[in-house]
Copies of this chain bind each other. A is one copy, B any other.
């Protein structure tokens, strides 16, 4: 996992913050499958992830439509349902427009 190489703003970010349940049956397999599938998704620009007490995944997208299309993607829909029923105690999703970026 490294810092995502994103283009000049504006572009979009989805901040997904979650608290897991103890049950993690099929979680790792599904996460690996989603990481593979998202690479083929139009408008996907990269993502960053870390988990301690809470998990934070930030994915970057070219447009709001690209975010919607990934949300609606069939395998991802199944993963989302499994997340809601089995894996996550709480989660929050924030859809953002990245207006400025800098760093070293």
Binding site for B on A (CB under 8 A): 1-4, 6, 9, 13, 15, 17-19, 48-56, 58, 84, 88, 90-104
Chain copies in the assembled complex: 2
Are A94 and B101 in contact (CB-based, < 8 A)? yes
Given A15-B15, A93-B103, A96-B96, list of 8 further CB < 8 A pairs?
A3-B19, A13-B94, A49-B54, A49-B56, A50-B54, A50-B56, A95-B100, A97-B99
Q: How far is the CB of A72 from chain B (nearest CB, A)?
A: 15
Q: Is the CB of A53 within 8 A of B1?
A: yes
- Alpha-carbon distance A94/B59, docked complex (angstroms): 12
Complex Cα distance, B99 from A93, in Å, reads: 11
Residues in B with CB closer than 8 Å to A101 are 92-95
